[in-house]
Structure 1
Amino acid sequence: MPTPKVIGIDLGTTYCSVGVFLPGTGQVKVIADENGHNSIPSIVSFTDRDVYVGYDGLELADANPQNTIYDAKRFIGKIFTSEELKSESSRYPFKIFNNDGSAEFSVTTNETFRVTPEHIGSQLLLKLKKMAEDHLGVPISKAVISVPAEFDERQRNATVKAANLAGLEILRVINEPTAAAMAYGLHKADVFNVLVVDLGGGTLDVSLLNKQGGMFLTRAMAGNNKLGGQDFNQRLMQHLYDQLNQVYGSLPSRKEEIHRLRQAVEAVLKEGHLHEEEVDEIVLVGGSTRIPKIREVIRDFFGKEPNTSVDPDLAVVMGVAIQAGIVGGSWPLQVSAIEIPNKHLRKTNFN
């Protein structure tokens, strides 16, 4: 059976993963690490002894918080004002410095030095690259990688730079909503308007895609960079704390969070000049979309069930792996998918 030569990578904010398209079986394989995890935490921890990545880094987060870097994707290639960076820095236990508008992380081991978000990304990509090489048994040097649809050219180039530092040549950069749509098989299906709801650990992204033939165009984006599963966890913990001394108590309905989800969905429909009944498919991405209330709100809003046929945690990496199969020549020639860039598009953010 031919060995895949191009891997697909989802470099996520909280977790990242790698996959391949297997030409012999026509299946997508998400590659697990040595402990069987399909994805690894996007965490890098620096110590006097070594650099620890993924779950190894996560284990050191409590004991070594000032040198354990996470959420680097929020900073990669992004230009901040001094006030913005100061506000962001207050959320993290590690030190963040301003280098002409770019973020750099301070690390102290045997000496104190600074690392860039690209360097953190390269460490994660080195780990994913090794996972793929160990599984496939061959060296890997080429990849397709996904980025948020809102990433500008500077952020995309910074992501590619991180991959280059890890010894990977990036053949194509694909938007995460497009990758998710491909994982659900929508590049082959007779659909035109696709709504992608991506609710992860810390962010909400809603994208409206228009598909004509094998081409995808992102028509509208909205979301909330500070709304995700972690926020729901915090609300639940607060409720349990408040109810600790009570025998009975009903769980409060978090109307604020639900409103913010509806707000983002309504915004992309308005910007895309569509009514809810004109949406052909609703695609769910991110582990927080498993929450029954989230699915209920989406179902009630559109009057139909969202598509749940793909693991929402793995939808993006599976789609990127399909794209890797296409550019690597492993995918059947009669099937293709092209992404139309929309440089004038801006994300509506409800923070």
Structure 2
Amino acid sequence: MAGEISMIGSVILALFLAGYLGQQYLPPPKPKVIGLDLGTTFCSVGVFHPGSGEVEVVADEEGRRSIPSAVSFTTTAVLAGHEAVDLADSNPQNTIYDAKRFIGKTFEPEVLERESARYPFKVINNNGSAEFEISTNHTFTVSPEFIGSRLLLKMKKMAEQQLGVPIQKAVISVPAEFDERQRNYTIRAANLAGLEILRVINEPTAAAMAYGLHKVDVLNVLVVDLGGGTLDVSLLNKQGGMFLTRAMAGNNKLGGQDFSQRLLQFTKERVTQEFGVTPALKEDIHRLRQAVEAAKLNLTVHPTTNIHVPLHLQIQDSSDPPKKVMFNAEITRKQFEELNEDLFQKILTPIKIVLAEGYLEKEEVDEIVLVGGSTRIPRIRKIITEFFGKEPNTSVDPDLAVVTGVAIQAGIMGGSWPLQVSALEIPNRHLRKTNLN
């Protein structure tokens, strides 16, 4: 008997030793499962590397670690990401963005009409579901999940090119308020891109995993997700590796695009004051919009920035050719903050709502997690800090928090070494999101 136990012990020791030596001297296996963040404005793909336990957010050929959630149709091609955005001004009717707002949702006719009024492309009602009408060399319609599939396909190819292996499996994130139908249509989009979805994870939970909050002794986590087009606030309660979403609130018409629009309007007024002509040509508006977006990003790290934009101003009711001018202006962070102060203050409203609905005092929040590029804005961080009386957790890039967490979960689903503690989500079927417009 003792001999058998000794033999078993020797076998176990040999297995551990083989595993250790293999991990030390053999190249780690390639990741088998990718993590996908299909955002409203931007999307990203990440992989969890076995052995090192590191997450890599895959970059495109230009080194950019996220791509715009836009798809453009021409007579010869379907373009996704940055290539689509480049056509947004010259091909606005056939460049689709914000498709995530429509995926899997059922609309009343008047609601869909109101929602679609803001877009340059045509949204039609197909028995309560939204579809987009495309007119190239012929007219046809595409679904929101088809738009999503083209973005997911592009990210799949980015991951395959980086890893050098074919990818068929993924974990994908969705907003916590997505119902079963919206989740299923998101999975359908992934299937159209040739991907099998092993698990759907809520975006706030993914963000918490990116910060390592699924492993530490933190009970109450507030996630503020402010992206390009939407604000989502979630209150999570964690016990061990399990998360329960206690309350959600948000504003689906508040985000970085709104802050940029205020600065764009301010810049157009400066052009009018200086040259006596309001910029109206599509090319001029496109250049100004790009310059304003760059200025907004610069002002997150610098107190001032400069805008230099060549314009071709067209005098109304004149047959003269457009006048070529160079517009130069200095923009200060203070000016940007004053232009948007009322919008910034709106961020506190859903925060107060989730605390009230979650029966929690702000002092009881253990961690404040920031997600989305717009949370980089210093004034927004200051408003949140002053409200809670403590600094939010900024240890993770807010642009990449969700994709990082999804990639960790993808590594777990793929059996990657070292083993991680998986974060389980407790379904809360009675939960409803309070949406502010």
For the superposition of Structure 1 and Structure 2, which TM-score range results when normalised by the shorter chain? over 0.9
The amino acid across from 1:207 in the alignment is S
Q: Note closer, same or farther for the CA distance 1:123–1:300 as it changes in structure 2 (3 Å cut).
A: same
Q: Secondary structure at the match of 2:62?
A: coil
* Deviation of the 1:238 alpha carbon: 3.3
- The residue aligned with 1:269 is 355
The amino acid across from 1:267 in the alignment is I
The amino acid across from 2:374 in the alignment is S
Matches within 5 A, 1:128-147: 128-147=155-174
- The residue aligned with 1:81 is 108
- The residue aligned with 2:252 is 225
| d(CA) in 1 for partners of 2:172, 2:216 | 23
- The residue aligned with 1:337 is 423
- Which residue of the other structure, out of 247, 260, 283, is the alignment partner of 2:369? 283
1:120 counterpart = 2:147: yes
1:311 counterpart = 2:397: yes
Matches within 5 A, 1:125-204: 125-204=152-231
Q: Secondary structure at the match of 2:228?
A: coil
- Gap regions ≥5 residues in structure 2: 1-27, 275-329
* Deviation of the 1:248 alpha carbon: 11
- Which residue of the other structure, out of 18, 33, 43, is the alignment partner of 2:45? 18
- The residue aligned with 1:52 is 79
* 1:247-281, Cα deviation, whole Å (9 max, x unpaired): 99973364432332111100000010000110000
| d(CA) in 1 for partners of 2:34, 2:380 | 32
* Deviation of the 1:236 alpha carbon: 2.6
* Deviation of the 1:242 alpha carbon: 5.2
- The residue aligned with 1:100 is 127
Quote the sequence identity (%): 73
Q: Secondary structure at the match of 1:268?
A: helix
Q: How many aligned positions are there? A: 351
The amino acid across from 2:65 in the alignment is N
* Deviation of the 1:164 alpha carbon: 0.5
- Which residue of the other structure, out of 221, 238, 242, is the alignment partner of 1:211? 238
- The residue aligned with 1:300 is 386
Matched-pair contact (CA < 8 Å) for 2:263–2:339: no
* 1:210-257, Cα deviation, whole Å (9 max, x unpaired): 000000111100110000111112223334455675999973364432
| d(CA) in 2 for partners of 1:248, 1:189 | 42
Q: Note closer, same or farther for the CA distance 1:61–1:240 as it changes in structure 2 (3 Å cut).
A: closer
Matched-pair contact (CA < 8 Å) for 2:51–2:418: no
| d(CA) in 1 for partners of 2:331, 2:355 | 41
| d(CA) in 1 for partners of 2:434, 2:331 | 41
| d(CA) in 1 for partners of 2:42, 2:339 | 28
Matched-pair contact (CA < 8 Å) for 2:51–2:417: no
The amino acid across from 2:349 in the alignment is Q
* Deviation of the 1:337 alpha carbon: 1.4
Stretch deviating more after TM superposition (334-343 or 81-90): 334-343
Q: Secondary structure at the match of 2:30?
A: coil
Stretch deviating more after TM superposition (97-106 or 335-344): 335-344
Q: Over aligned residue pairs, what C-alpha RMSD do you find?
A: 1.7
* Deviation of the 1:334 alpha carbon: 5.7
| d(CA) in 2 for partners of 1:321, 1:312 | 15
Whichever structure has more helix as a proportion of its residues is 2
| d(CA) in 2 for partners of 1:32, 1:174 | 22
Q: Secondary structure at the match of 2:46?
A: strand
* Deviation of the 1:5 alpha carbon: 0.2
* Deviation of the 1:125 alpha carbon: 0.7
